[in-house]
Amino acid sequence: MRPSTRAVHVPVPTLPNSRSISVPIYQASNFAFDDPDALAEALESPDSGFVYSRYANPTVRALEDHLARLEGGVAAVFTASGMGAISAVLMSTLRSGDHVIAQSCLYGGTYAMLNDLAARFGVDVTYIAGDDPAEVAAAVRPSTRMLYLETIANPVTKVVDLPAFLAAGRAAGLVTVVDNTFATPLLCRPIEHGADVVLHSATKYLGGHSDVTGGALVFAEDQRYREVWHHAMELGAAADPFAAWLTIRGVQTLPLRMRQHCANAAVLAERLAAHPSVVSVRWPGHPGHPDHEVARGHLSDFGGMLVFDLAGGREAGYAFTKGVRLAKLAVSLGGVETTLVHPASSSHRQLDADALLAAGIGEGTVRVSVGIEDAEDVWEDFAQALPL
């Protein structure tokens, strides 16, 4: 089956004589057993029956199996948030004294967590630009344990040559982890390129409707799945069944939504690039994007995240986010509606021009999560809010 078909057909837990087409919500925290040995076994392993919903739950499991198949992995762990997934994989894989190689263009929460691990547990981190796979070998030490990447990186849509970087990580014997939130398994399946662990903030495209917080880890092999599952269970990272159910519902329309996100982003990228008050546009599908050629190599489309820079700097960015009427000023992304942020006046307002530049952000940079509306309506909204 092709990914778009696979996304629709969710494995439904079976009833004795019939089968519901949709996955029911098993709103249960506790499960009874007839046999004490079976109960003991279920406490030890993620697949020996349901015992307690912090360990496993039938609705959550249906989603985990579905995500594992979509990403081409053997198993998955669904968590209460994307950061729950990131915490579980970092805490279960790293020990004091370990060294991590991570891309410098990275989700802010991941960056904060890595810095925290460095300060409190002596985990060392080297940040690489992600322009040349040789950066990996150059950064490797005897203590290096993990290579951490993002398929399309937050916030400025940097795209590393994923197959080449993963090959370099594997050659050095590292555990390779890829945050695939922006690309989704519809555009890229990092396990096919050699990733050990793929993770998502399901809050974004997988859920897709700005109504659920969740995260996921998908594993290329069973042993690592069991180890990380054990730690996720100890950390209490488990998601509740309703969040899993909303995410299942979201994933079934992911192929349709992604097609529209990508098509709309293509329209906006072209028109923004031609606008006199726009200095540059970064959307991986746009020929002007610094990683466009690299992205063409392993992405089947280029996603709904787009960044552009206004000539008028901080003031122009601020005025634009105030001037839009249809698009919403909001930090999260990946929903059906267009949202945007101007980092220099919001998330990054404490940074001066130099510090912003180091983070790859300009004073006039606007980050857009392009929704699935009619692209003409979004463009009309942008056009009336752009400086003349």
- Measured between alpha carbons, how far apart are the two ends of the chain, in Å? 49
Q: Does the footprint of ligand PLP cover residue 240 (CB under 6 A)?
A: no
Q: How far is the CB of 231 from ligand PLP (least distance, A)?
A: 17
Return d(Cα 143, Cα 123) in angstroms, integer.
10
Q: Does the footprint of ligand PLP cover residue 107 (CB under 6 A)?
A: yes
Give one DSSP letter per residue of 150-193, joined into a string: ESSBTTTTB---HHHHHHHHHHTTPEEEEE-TTTHHHH--GGGG
**Interacting span for ligand PLP (CB under 6 A) from 166-174, 199-207, 218-226, 365-373:** 199-207
Q: How far is the CB of 73 from ligand PLP (least distance, A)?
A: 18
Q: Across the strands, what pairs with 310?
A: 278
Complex with ligand PLP: residue 82 or 343, whichever CB lies closer: 82
Backbone φ and ψ for 305, nearest 5 degrees, come out as -95, 130
**Interacting span for ligand PLP (CB under 6 A) from 59-67, 81-89, 220-228, 246-254:** 81-89
* CB count in 10 Å sphere of residue 142: 5
Complex with ligand PLP: residue 203 or 247, whichever CB lies closer: 203
Complex with ligand PLP: residue 57 or 247, whichever CB lies closer: 247
Pair of tokens at residue 45: 């392993």
Q: How far is the CB of 203 from ligand PLP (least distance, A)?
A: 4
Q: How far is the CB of 109 from ligand PLP (least distance, A)?
A: 5
Q: How far is the CB of 297 from ligand PLP (least distance, A)?
A: 21
Q: Does the footprint of ligand PLP cover residue 77 (CB under 6 A)?
A: no
Complex with ligand PLP: residue 42 or 114, whichever CB lies closer: 114
Residue identified by tokens 């809010």 is: 385
Complex with ligand PLP: residue 215 or 360, whichever CB lies closer: 215
Complex with ligand PLP: residue 179 or 291, whichever CB lies closer: 179
Complex with ligand PLP: residue 152 or 262, whichever CB lies closer: 152
Q: Does the footprint of ligand PLP cover residue 82 (CB under 6 A)?
A: yes
**Interacting span for ligand PLP (CB under 6 A) from 11-19, 196-204, 321-329, 375-383:** 196-204
Q: Does the footprint of ligand PLP cover residue 154 (CB under 6 A)?
A: yes
Pair of tokens at residue 85: 């997934």
Return d(Cα 18, Cα 68) in angstroms, integer.
25
Of residues 159-188, which lie at the interface with ligand PLP (CB under 6 A)?
179, 181-182
Backbone CA torsion sign across 255, 60, 221, 98: positive
Size of the site for ligand PLP (CB under 6 A): 15
Of residues 200-219, which lie at the interface with ligand PLP (CB under 6 A)?
201, 203-204, 213, 215
Return d(Cα 168, Cα 351) in angstroms, integer.
34
CA R_g for the chain? 21
Complex with ligand PLP: residue 199 or 269, whichever CB lies closer: 199
Give one DSSP letter per residue of 315-363, joined into a string: HHHHHHHHH-SSSEE-S---SSS-EEE-GGGTTTTT--HHHHHHTT--T
Q: How far is the CB of 251 from ligand PLP (least distance, A)?
A: 15
| Binding characters for ligand PLP, 302-321, by CB under 6 A (x = yes) | --------------------
Q: How far is the CB of 88 from ligand PLP (least distance, A)?
A: 12
Among 83, 206, 220, 246, binds ligand PLP (CB under 6 A): 83
In the chain, alpha helices (H): 3-8, 36-44, 58-71, 82-93, 108-121, 134-139, 162-171, 184-187, 222-235, 241-252, 254-273, 292-298, 313-323, 353-358, 375-385
- Torsion of the alpha carbons at 240, 243, 247 and 248, rounded to the nearest 10: 60
DSSP state of 303: -
Q: Catalytic amino acids?
A: 54, 107, 179, 204
Return d(Cα 293, Cα 287) in angstroms, integer.
8
Kindly list the residues in this chain that would bind ligand PLP in the complex (CB under 6 A): 81-83, 107, 109, 150, 154, 179, 181-182, 201, 203-204, 213, 215
